[in-house]
Structures are given as structure tokens and as C-alpha cells.
Amino acid sequence: MPKEKIYQSEFPDLFKEAGELSYQDPEEQEPEAPSEPEDDLLKPQTVSDLTNKLRNLIEENFFDVYVVGEISNFVRQHSGHWYFSLKDEKAQISAAMFRGTNRKMRFMPENGMLVVVRGKVDVYPPHGQYKIICDDMEPCGLGSKQMQFEQLKRKLEEEGLTSEERKRPLPIFPKTVGFVTSASGSVLRDVKNVLFRRFPCRLVFAPALVQGENAPASIIEAIENCNLYNEQHPDTPIDVLIVGRGGGSMEDLWCFNDEGVARAIAASKIPVVSAVGHETDYTIADFVADLRAPTPSAAAELVAQTREDWQCTVDDLYERLRDGMEEMIEKGADEVLACLNHYALREPTRIVEDFIQKVDGLDESLRKGTALILERHESNLDHCKKMLDAIGPISVMKRGYAVVQDEEGEAVTSAESLKKKGRFLVRMSDGSVKAKVLDEQ
């Protein structure tokens, strides 16, 4: 089965220097160099000798090859080198791309990605392994620029720079509008005409390159200068900033897919409207900006509404305010009428009489409650008095008992202490008598 040719048009960037790669027919190939005598091949040789011969043979014949395969086992070392494998349905080969080379890449390889690489086959003698050292790489099917676009978009999404929560609303009445674009072309004139026709405002122009290799740095500088302008002119700041350009090819618009430009837009303290190309063109700047406009002229329309639009808005607000006030007045009139018909205003003395009756009722309840409490306490006092009389000393003495006290009035509780005192007092229920000890027993 004849082998297919690979033409330059299939991978234009990759094959620019290499030219067309094709397979030669065996009849057209140069005559092979004479091989070593069979006797030399049969001589014993060291592993190193054999490996070096294989290395020289491989490196001399495979110094500039192109390989198509699927990436697997991709590893990015701390040193910056990339190590991976290229495989198809039947075989695989180890590959490496060193830091000095992969710095030029505009996309990050991933496992499962189908790529075509250009490089040379190298043999590593200590392990007896061979691998392809890559000098260039292009994705198959999806271009490198589109791959770079998707990877940067995903990276910014993971950082939250494209989320709707961080996007700021545009000012309703911008007094000053900033515009970052090229000084050449009709875009600046179109935006200026739209702004001044729709709403009176001031336009601050920040010139920048919007195409070519130096465009990203120029756009970043213009955005930063606009923010610096606000710091230096706090009384007349730029209220909203339009960043964009007219239509063009993907290469012309590619500077707005730069990561530095995206981060400058996200870091801007001024709300940014991205207006790049035509309605079908999308750039990374559109995702990180506070608002995306399909064209620069459409951005001017979004930034400044027409007098007619504002007049309609004012008229609508006026009608809503008038209807609301009329409703409030009608509601208040109903409340006033209800108050006028209330019996409190028609018969005010009736309210006073009702309160007098309530006071009288409370007074009567207080009097009855107080009397009942006093009666209960008097009954308790009488009961306590009777108990005291029943068990008190006077009641005992009425039954024939007496209390013996000394001259100081202290009770004498034993005959021995009475003998020592000599004189004492005998207290009975109806009085007391003085006595002295005459005889001791």
C-alpha cells in the first residue's frame, strides 16, 4: 500500500522552514552505504559500543522528523521541561520538549490531545532508550491560536475574572466617556458622532495600537493611563471606558486575546465596555469586561441613551408617581371620612362616661378586696390570741400555780438557789407578795 504524502498546506506554520515532506520510492533512493563485514558483526562487542552505533545510526537518519500522535503521561517538571509520550493504536514513543523551546509555545499540551511534533530522535545510552526531542508542536484539528484562546478563557474563569458577580453596572448619566482605540480609521469618528448625537458628554481619547505584536502592551498602557487620569483629575473623572476596534481577521483581533490585556481590563477601576470587531467576533476581552458590545458604535449606544429614550423614561416615572400620589390621597381621604363618622367624634362625652364607669368599677373592687383581706387578718390574730391565752403563764397561775422570782425579777428554778438568796417574790394570777426563807429542809 503506497504511503501518503504530507504537504506543507496542511500544517503551514509547522512546515514553513522544513518545506514539503514526502516519502521517496525505493528506486529513487540513494544507494546505501556498504555495511560492515559480516565478520565484524559477529565479533563480541560491549553494550556501550552497540548502543553508540545504534545512537549514531538513529541520529544520523532521524535528525528532522515529523510525528503525529496522541499525548499521554504529560509531566511538567519544576525545571520547566516537558516530558510525555506520543501514541497511536499500535505503538508509543517517549518525547521531551525542553524549557528553552517550550517557552515559545502559545498553548499548553494536555493528555489526550492529538498533535504533530517536529524534532529529532535521540538515544539515551545509560538506559538504552530512545525518544524524540521536540523543537515544535502544533495541535491537529484545533489550531494553536484557538487552543490558546480556550485555555486562557478557562484559566480566567477558574480565577473568577469572568463571573457575572464582579461585573459593574454602567453609569446612568456619564459625563465623560473614555475610548481606547487606534487614532487611524473611522472607528473614533463613528463613536464620537453616536455619543454627541444621543447625549451631551465629553469624550477622552486614549490612543493605542490595536493590531500587531506591540498592540497588547499599547492597550495595557492606554487603560492604565485612563485610570491614572482619574486619580489626577478627581473632579472630572472618566465615568466609563470603551476598549475596542473595528472588524478584521482573527489575526487582526488577536491582541484582544492577550492575557495581559484581559487582566488590565479586569483590574481597571473604571467600568469597561469591550467593543471588538463585528457582532460574531468574540475575544477574551469580552468575557472579562463589565459589558460586551458587538461593535464600537453599539458600545456608544449602550453608554449614552438618546434624549428620546430618557424622555420616555421620565414620562413613565412621572405617570407612575402621579398614579401613586392619587392612590395615596384617595386612601387618606377614606381614612379621614372613617374618622369623621366614628362615634368618638360624634359623642365624645360617651367615651368619658365609659371611662368613669370603669374607674368606679375598679374602685369598688379595690374596696371589697381590701375589706376582705383585713377581715382575714383579724380572724388570724384572734385565733393566735386565744392560743397564747390557753398556753400562757397567766392561765396556768389561775389554776393555783405561782412563779417564784428573786428581788431582781429573775425566775428561781431550784430550792438551792432560793436558799442562797434568802428573799424572793411570789407572783400569782392576781398579784404578788414578798417572802423570805425561814426554814431550810
Cα dihedral value 418, 419, 421, 427, nearest 10: 30
What's the mean pLDDT when you consider all of the chain? 82
Cβ neighbours around 179 below 10 Å, total? 29
Average pLDDT over residues 30-42: 55
The pLDDT of residue 433: 79
Residues 175 and 276 in one domain: yes
Number of domains in the chain: 4
The pLDDT of residue 238: 95
Question: Would you place residue 104 in the very low, low, confident or very high pLDDT band (cuts 50, 70, 90)?
Answer: confident
Residues 166 and 259 in one domain: yes
The pLDDT of residue 95: 93
**323 part of a folded domain:** no
Question: Would you place residue 270 in the very low, low, confident or very high pLDDT band (cuts 50, 70, 90)?
Answer: very high
**332 part of a folded domain:** no
Average pLDDT over residues 84-89: 89
Asked whether residue 1 carries a pLDDT value surpassing 50, the answer given is no
CATH classification at residue 19: 2.40.50.140
Residues of the domain holding 217: 160-305
Residues 14 and 124 in one domain: yes
Asked whether residue 437 carries a pLDDT value surpassing 80, the answer given is no
Asked whether residue 419 carries a pLDDT value surpassing 60, the answer given is yes
C-alpha cell at 418: 432560793
Residues 183 and 200 in one domain: yes
Question: What pLDDT, in 10s, does the model give residues 247-266?
Answer: 888 778 989 999 999 999 99
Q: How many CA atoms lie within 13 A of 418 on its CB side?
A: 18
Does pTM surpass 0.85? no
Instruction: Tell me if 299 sits within 8 A of 244, measured CB to CB.
Output: yes
The pLDDT of residue 138: 84
Asked whether residue 31 carries a pLDDT value surpassing 60, the answer given is no
Residues 255 and 207 in one domain: yes
Residues 207 and 222 in one domain: yes
The pLDDT of residue 414: 75
Instruction: Tell me if 312 sits within 8 A of 305, measured CB to CB.
Output: no
C-alpha cell at 122: 535521540
The pLDDT of residue 242: 96
Asked whether residue 34 carries a pLDDT value surpassing 60, the answer given is no
Asked whether residue 5 carries a pLDDT value surpassing 50, the answer given is no
The pLDDT of residue 275: 93
**327 part of a folded domain:** no
Residues 254 and 182 in one domain: yes
Least confident of 29-43, 44-58, 132-146, 276-290: 29-43
The pLDDT of residue 148: 80
Q: Whose CA is closest to 240, among 216, 267, 204?
A: 204
CATH classification at residue 288: 3.40.50.261
Asked whether residue 3 carries a pLDDT value surpassing 50, the answer given is no
Residues 32 and 81 in one domain: yes
User: Which CA distances in Å does 425 have to 404, 407, 411, 431, 433?
Assistant: 6, 7, 9, 11, 6
Cβ neighbours around 222 below 10 Å, total? 22
Question: Would you place residue 21 in the very low, low, confident or very high pLDDT band (cuts 50, 70, 90)?
Answer: very low
Residues 203 and 261 in one domain: yes
Residues 377 and 419 in one domain: no
* 28 DSSP 8-state letter: G
Whole-number Å distance between alpha carbons of 177 and 299: 11
The pLDDT of residue 42: 64
Least confident of 79-88, 168-177, 325-334, 421-430: 421-430
C-alpha cell at 250: 482573527
Q: How many CA atoms lie within 13 A of 436 on its CB side?
A: 3
**423 part of a folded domain:** yes
Q: Whose CA is closest to 280, among 291, 290, 298, 294?
A: 294
Higher pLDDT, 35 or 164: 164
**55 part of a folded domain:** yes
**120 part of a folded domain:** yes
**279 part of a folded domain:** yes
**170 part of a folded domain:** yes
User: Which CA distances in Å does 117 have to 6, 19, 79, 376?
Assistant: 13, 15, 21, 113
Place of cell 472588524: 247
Average pLDDT over residues 13-25: 40
Question: What pLDDT, in 10s, does the model give residues 215-228?
Answer: 999 999 999 999 99
Question: What pLDDT, in 10s, does the model give residues 368-385?
Answer: 989 899 989 988 998 888
The pLDDT of residue 400: 67
Q: By percentage, how much of the chain surpasses pLDDT 90?
A: 34
Cβ neighbours around 301 below 10 Å, total? 18
Least confident of 127-131, 390-394, 409-413: 390-394
Residues 236 and 267 in one domain: yes
* 9 DSSP 8-state letter: G
Q: Whose CA is closest to 118, among 131, 107, 134, 138?
A: 134
Residues 374 and 401 in one domain: no
Beta-bridge partner residues of 291: 273
